[in-house]
Structure 1
Amino acid sequence: MLAEAITALAAAGGTAVVQAAGTDVWTEFRQRVARWFGRGNVQRERTELDRLDQTAAALEAAEGQQAERVRLRQEASWEAWFIALLEGLNDNQREQAAAELRTLLVEYSPQGGVSAGQYGIAAGRDVNVRAEQGSVAAALLQGDVNMSTPTMPDPSQG
Structure 2
Amino acid sequence: MRGEALRAVAAAGGAAVVRAAGTDAWADVRERTAELFGGGAERQQVLDALDRTRAELAAGDGAADAGAQWRDRFARRLDGLDGAERLRFIGGLAELAAAEAGPAAAGAGGGATVQGDLSVRAERGAVAGVFQGSVHLENPRPPGADQG
How high is the TM-score relative to the length of structure 1?
Answer: 0.64
Residue 93 of structure 1 is matched in structure 2 by 85
Cα deviation, residue 27, structure 1: 1.3
Matches within 5 A, 1:1-158: 1-37=1-37, 39=38, 41-62=39-60, 67=61, 70-109=62-101, 113-114=124-125, 122-123=142-143, 127=144, 141-142=145-146
- The size of the alignment, in residue pairs, is 114
User: Which amino acid is 2:101 matched to?
Assistant: S
How high is the TM-score relative to the length of structure 2?
Answer: 0.68
Unmatched runs of 5 consecutive residues or more in structure 1: 115-119, 128-140, 144-158
> Percent same amino acid at aligned positions?
34
Q: Distance in 2 between matches of 1:74 and 1:29?
A: 15
User: Which amino acid is 1:3 matched to?
Assistant: G
Q: Distance in 1 between matches of 2:43 and 2:141?
A: 39
Q: Distance in 1 between matches of 2:53 and 2:25?
A: 15
* Greater shift in the superposed pair: 75-84 or 21-30: 21-30
Q: Distance in 2 between matches of 1:108 and 1:121?
A: 16
Unmatched runs of 5 consecutive residues or more in structure 2: 106-122, 126-139
Question: Secondary structure at the residue paired with 2:124?
Answer: coil
Cα deviation, residue 121, structure 1: 6.6
Question: Secondary structure at the residue paired with 2:69?
Answer: helix
Q: Distance in 1 between matches of 2:85 and 2:75?
A: 14
Change (3 A) 1:45 1:121: closer
Higher relative contact order (CA 8 A, sep 6+): 2
User: Which amino acid is 1:89 matched to?
Assistant: L
